[in-house]
């Protein structure tokens, strides 16, 4: 297990290097530089600034310099937030984004799986139809639409919860719901079809014939075997949550990485763009590794 | 197909026709400003009200459908083309080639896609072209994976072997024997991917990094409405509703098509699953 983990982490490194390289190239193809301002800087000053950040050197040299720096865990200074290192900014914003992401994941799993199981168990009943319909609605609602509806209804009309900012648990409910709900719909439908398939199998009939009560059959026997397809989509789903958090951070003015990325792109703040992209990429790679390990732990057959 | 899929198809048809014939359908021009109507609430003259500059929202929505639908459909078609060619070659050739080609797909998958879309869009200058290229770049890989899997499976079938034994060349086998068998999958994929593209575009435009005014997609309109949500909620309501209903219809239609084209998924153990 440990060896598998280390192996997967090692496999992740080249992926991250490719991501870093691609981002670097795309970033530099963007017209306009970080120090093009409305009021043109005097050429000497501009030259000084560019020399300070090594922007006067050929791109290839800059690239190698950056990668060397990165290997030592240093992401360089931000161009726009003077006096702050990218690692500083990330240290401030990452906890916010990850909290939001994990809460949303909780919404996804906590709403999606029970709804799916219930729906499968009561197949073709009114409850099932409502569940499936709601889930399809959930899949089709863009999170920014759901987010704005929540803000308008819960915050502006009912004044129950704050519409923006990030200053305590009360501030976290709406963003987590807005981010998680579409994915919860997806998981609910997936759970439903997986459970349905398992419920039709022989061993479930045996379990029922033995006289086991329904909740044991459903939760212990059926859910256990239908969990695999669900676990295997949690990886890509986490990636979706991670990148989806952008919009949510925008809507709710949450001081997470997403907001910084948007301003960094508009400002051509190269090191910050790079830093945020890499953190997201690491998260995605890690999520997939964790999911694979859970999968292995659940299903001994895939162990090698 | 069930009635949901059918009515979805009708809805999408109406929206597409309105988009194509926008100059004839829209009651006003999308750029005519009328300061008397600034932020007007929905009324008989302006069904959906008017925006900050007094422009008729209903008309802007119809013109916005042009941008949103065009981007959704065209990026998906291109991604489908690239993905199918790539996936089919990878799956058909197999071996080392397949391995290398799929590693590349894995890397593209590991990219945080919305970040890449934002970077590329900003790089290309926030126009339709930028969004188009950015979306295509990240979405062809999903198709490539799907198609590769299918080709891997189908190429082992006896009838393909028979075709090969009869002396059919590789291109004939791929185009005449295998391709017809994945057409259904491609149609279904198309229907399911279009809403994903529409969603990505509108999200991008909503956070102010996609299509820039005066051109406007539904996402751009929603972004404008968002700024005034507290007092003029109608400005964001209608664009959001348009996006939502379109995506919903594509999903219903996709499900209908999938069940229609694949009898196996329609009944499994005599029950509807999925």
- When the pLDDT of each residue in chain A is averaged and rounded to a whole number, the result is 82
Q: What pLDDT is recorded for position A38?
A: 61
* Chain A residues whose beta carbon lies within 8 Å of the beta carbon of residue B114: 243-244, 246
- Mean pLDDT of the A107-118 span: 90
Domain that holds residue B83: 3-22+50-272
- Mean pLDDT of the A110-135 span: 87
CA distance readout (Å), A227 to A109, A193, A196, A231, B47: 12, 11, 12, 6, 48
Q: What pLDDT is recorded for position A225?
A: 81
A80 falls within a domain: no
* Chain B residues whose beta carbon lies within 8 Å of the beta carbon of residue A197: 268-269, 273
pLDDT band of B11, cuts 50, 70, 90 = very high
* Chain A residues whose beta carbon lies within 8 Å of the beta carbon of residue B226: 148, 251
User: CA-CA distance, B188 to B257, in Å (whole number)?
Assistant: 6
Pick the range with the lowest mean pLDDT from A24-38, B4-18, B255-269: B255-269
User: CA-CA distance, A7 to A3, in Å (whole number)?
Assistant: 6
- Mean pLDDT of the A112-122 span: 88
* Chain A residues whose beta carbon lies within 8 Å of the beta carbon of residue B247: 140-142
> Using the beta-carbon criterion (under 8 Å), do B207 and A250 form an inter-chain contact?
yes
pLDDT band of B213, cuts 50, 70, 90 = confident
A216 falls within a domain: yes
- Mean pLDDT of the B134-157 span: 88
Domain that holds residue A186: 98-255
A283 falls within a domain: no
CA distance readout (Å), B199 to A277, B74, B243: 21, 14, 8
Instruction: Read off the pLDDT of residues A249-302 as tens digits, 9 standing for 90 and up.
Output: 888 888 888 888 888 887 888 888 888 888 888 888 888 888 888 878 877 776
Is the pLDDT at A168 greater than 80? The verdict is: no
User: CA-CA distance, B108 to B142, in Å (whole number)?
Assistant: 10
Q: Which residue of A has its CA nearest to B231?
A: A156
Full-model pTM: 0.83
Give me A174's structure tokens. 């709406």
Cβ within 8 Å of residue B224, ≥6 positions away: B51, B52, B213, B216, B235
B62 falls within a domain: yes
**What CATH number corresponds to the domain at position B162?**
1.10.3720.10
Q: Which residue of A has its CA nearest to B108?
A: A19
Is the pLDDT at A216 greater than 70? The verdict is: yes
- For residue B40, the 8-state DSSP code is P
Q: What pLDDT is recorded for position B271?
A: 38
| Strand (E) or helix (H) holding A231 | helix A223-251
Q: What pLDDT is recorded for position B36?
A: 67
Backbone dihedral region for residue A268 (phi beyond 0: left; psi -120 to 50: alpha; all else: beta): left
- Mean pLDDT of the A157-164 span: 77
User: CA-CA distance, B238 to A128, in Å (whole number)?
Assistant: 30
User: Which position has the higher pLDDT, A59 or B238?
Assistant: B238
Distance from CA of A263 to the nearest CA of B (A): 10
B14 falls within a domain: yes
A125 falls within a domain: yes
Give me A135's structure tokens. 């889930």
pLDDT band of A227, cuts 50, 70, 90 = confident
User: CA-CA distance, B72 to B79, in Å (whole number)?
Assistant: 11
> Using the beta-carbon criterion (under 8 Å), do B229 and A145 form an inter-chain contact?
no
Q: How far is Cα of residue B71 from the mean position of the Cα atoms in its chain?
A: 7
A214 falls within a domain: yes
Distance from CA of B189 to the nearest CA of A (A): 16
Instruction: Read off the pLDDT of residues B28-42 as tens digits, 9 standing for 90 and up.
Output: 776 767 666 666 677
B45 falls within a domain: no
Per the structure, the count of domains in chain A is 1
Is the pLDDT at B272 greater than 70? The verdict is: no
Q: What pLDDT is recorded for position A106?
A: 92
Q: What pLDDT is recorded for position B268?
A: 40
Cis peptide before A40 (omega within 30 of 0): no
Q: What pLDDT is recorded for position A173?
A: 81
Residues A227 and A299: beta-carbon distance below 8 Å? no
Instruction: Read off the pLDDT of residues B80-96 as tens digits, 9 standing for 90 and up.
Output: 999 999 999 999 998 89
Is the pLDDT at A48 greater than 80? The verdict is: no
User: CA-CA distance, A52 to A83, in Å (whole number)?
Assistant: 13
Work out whether the CA dihedral A240, A243, A152, B126 comes out positive or negative.
negative
User: Which position has the higher pLDDT, B204 or A35?
Assistant: B204
Pick the most confident of A147-161, A261-275, B152-166: B152-166
Give me A186's structure tokens. 């997806």
A4 falls within a domain: no
Give me B18's structure tokens. 């309105």
B42 falls within a domain: no
> Using the beta-carbon criterion (under 8 Å), do A193 and B274 form an inter-chain contact?
yes
Chain B residues at the A interface, defined by Cβ less than 8 Å, are 106-107, 110-116, 118-120, 122-123, 125, 195, 199, 202-203, 206-209, 222, 226, 229-230, 233, 236, 240, 243-244, 247-248, 251-252, 268-269, 271-274
Q: What pLDDT is recorded for position A230?
A: 85
Q: Which of B177, B187, B195 is nearest to B143 (CA)?
A: B187
User: CA-CA distance, B76 to B143, in Å (whole number)?
Assistant: 10
Q: Give the burial class of B88: count Cβ atoms within 10 A of its Cβ; 0-12 exposed, 13-18 middle, 19 or more buried.
A: buried
CA distance readout (Å), B260 to A205, B91, B118, B185, B254: 30, 26, 37, 11, 10
Give me B8's structure tokens. 């979805």
What residue has token string 């704005």? A148
Pick the range with the lowest mean pLDDT from A64-68, A130-134, B68-72: A64-68
Q: Which residue of A has its CA nearest to B226?
A: A148
What residue has token string 């906890």? A95
* Chain A residues whose beta carbon lies within 8 Å of the beta carbon of residue B199: 142
B86 falls within a domain: yes
* Chain A residues whose beta carbon lies within 8 Å of the beta carbon of residue B233: 152
Dump the DSSP string for B170-231: HHHIIIIIIHHHHHHHHHHHHHHHHHHHHHHHHHHHHTTSSSPTTS--HHHHHHHHHTTTTT
A156 falls within a domain: yes
Option in A29, A149, A261 nearest B115 (CB) = A261
User: Which position has the higher pLDDT, A127 or A52?
Assistant: A127
Residues A104 and A179: beta-carbon distance below 8 Å? yes
**What CATH number corresponds to the domain at position A165?**
1.10.3720.10
Distance from CA of A139 to the nearest CA of B (A): 8
**What beta strand segments (E) does chain A contain?**
none
- Mean pLDDT of the B49-78 span: 84
B44 falls within a domain: no
A143-150 and B234-261 helices cross at what angle (nearest 10)?
140
Q: What pLDDT is recorded for position B79?
A: 94
User: CA-CA distance, B188 to B153, in Å (whole number)?
Assistant: 18
B265 falls within a domain: yes
- Mean pLDDT of the B41-62 span: 73
* Chain A residues whose beta carbon lies within 8 Å of the beta carbon of residue B274: 189, 192-193
Q: What pLDDT is recorded for position A45?
A: 76
User: Which position has the higher pLDDT, A8 or B38?
Assistant: A8
Three-class SS state of A181: helix
Per the structure, the count of domains in chain B is 1
A79 falls within a domain: no
Q: How far is Cα of residue A165 from the mean position of the Cα atoms in its chain?
A: 19
Q: What pLDDT is recorded for position B54?
A: 65
Option in A30, A145, A242 nearest B243 (CB) = A145
Q: Which of B227, B183, B222, B192 is nearest to B205 (CA)?
A: B222
Q: Which residue of A has its CA nearest to B251?
A: A140
| Strand (E) or helix (H) holding B160 | helix B158-165
> Using the beta-carbon criterion (under 8 Å), do B209 and A15 form an inter-chain contact?
no
């Amino acid at each position: 297990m440990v060896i598998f983990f280390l192996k997967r982490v090692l496999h992740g490194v080249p992926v991250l290097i490719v991501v870093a390289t691609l981002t670097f190239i795309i970033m530099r193809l963007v017209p306009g530089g970080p120090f093009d301002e409305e009021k043109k800087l005097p050429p000497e000053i501009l030259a000084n600034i560019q020399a300070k950040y090594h922007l006067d050197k050929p791109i290839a040299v800059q690239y190698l310099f950056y990668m060397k720096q990165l290997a030592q865990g240093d992401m360089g200074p931000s161009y726009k937030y003077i006096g702050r290192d990218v690692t500083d900014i990330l240290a401030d914003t990452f906890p916010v984004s990850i909290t939001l992401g994990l809460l949303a994941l909780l919404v996804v799993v906590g709403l999606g799986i029970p709804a799916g199981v219930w729906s499968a168990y009561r197949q073709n009943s009114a409850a099932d139809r409502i569940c499936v319909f709601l889930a399809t609605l959930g899949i089709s609602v863009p999170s920014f639409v759901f987010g704005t509806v929540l803000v308008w209804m819960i915050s502006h009309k009912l004044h129950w919860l704050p519409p923006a900012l990030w200053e305590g648990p009360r501030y976290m409910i709406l963003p987590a719901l807005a981010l998680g709900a579409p994915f919860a719909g997806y998981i609910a439908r997936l759970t439903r079809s997986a459970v349905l398939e398992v419920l039709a199998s022989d061993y479930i009939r045996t379990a029922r014939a033995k006289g086991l009560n329904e909740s044991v059959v459903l939760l212990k026997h059926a859910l256990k075997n239908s969990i695999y397809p669900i676990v295997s989509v949690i990886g890509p789903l986490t990636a979706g949550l991670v990148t989806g958090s952008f919009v949510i951070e925008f809507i709710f003015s949450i001081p997470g990485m997403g907001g910084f990325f948007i301003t960094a792109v508009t400002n051509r703040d190269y090191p910050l763009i790079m830093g945020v992209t890499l953190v997201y990429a690491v998260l995605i790679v890690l999520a997939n590794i964790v999911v694979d390990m859970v999968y292995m732990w659940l299903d001994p057959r895939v162990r090698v | 197909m069930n009635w949901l899929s059918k009515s979805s198809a009708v809805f999408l048809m109406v929206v597409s026709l309105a988009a194509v014939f926008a100059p004839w359908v829209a009651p006003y021009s999308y750029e005519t400003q009328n300061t008397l109507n600034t932020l007007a609430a929905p009324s008989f003259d302006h069904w959906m009200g008017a925006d900050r500059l007094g422009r008729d929202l209903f008309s802007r929505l119809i013109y916005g459908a042009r941008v949103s639908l065009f981007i959704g459909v065209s990026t998906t078609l291109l991604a489908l083309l690239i993905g199918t060619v790539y996936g089919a070659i990878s799956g058909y050739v197999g071996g080392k080639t397949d391995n290398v080609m799929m590693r590349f797909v894995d890397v593209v998958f590991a990219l945080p896609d919305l970040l890449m879309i934002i970077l590329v869009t900003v790089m290309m200058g926030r126009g339709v072209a930028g969004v188009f290229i950015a979306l295509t770049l990240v979405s062809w890989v999903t198709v490539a994976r799907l198609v590769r899997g299918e080709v891997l499976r189908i190429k082992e079938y006896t009838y393909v072997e028979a075709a090969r034994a009869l002396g059919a060349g590789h291109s004939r086998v791929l185009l005449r024997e295998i391709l017809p068998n994945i057409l259904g999958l491609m149609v279904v994929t198309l229907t399911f991917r279009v809403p994903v593209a529409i969603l990505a575009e509108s999200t991008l435009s909503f956070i102010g990094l996609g299509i820039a005014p005066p051109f406007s997609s539904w996402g751009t309109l929603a972004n404008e409405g968002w700024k005034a949500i507290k007092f003029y909620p109608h400005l964001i309501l209608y664009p959001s509703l348009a996006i939502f209903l379109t995506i919903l219809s594509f999903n219903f239609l996709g499900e209908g098509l999938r069940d229609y084209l694949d009898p196996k998924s329609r009944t499994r153990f005599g029950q509807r699953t999925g």
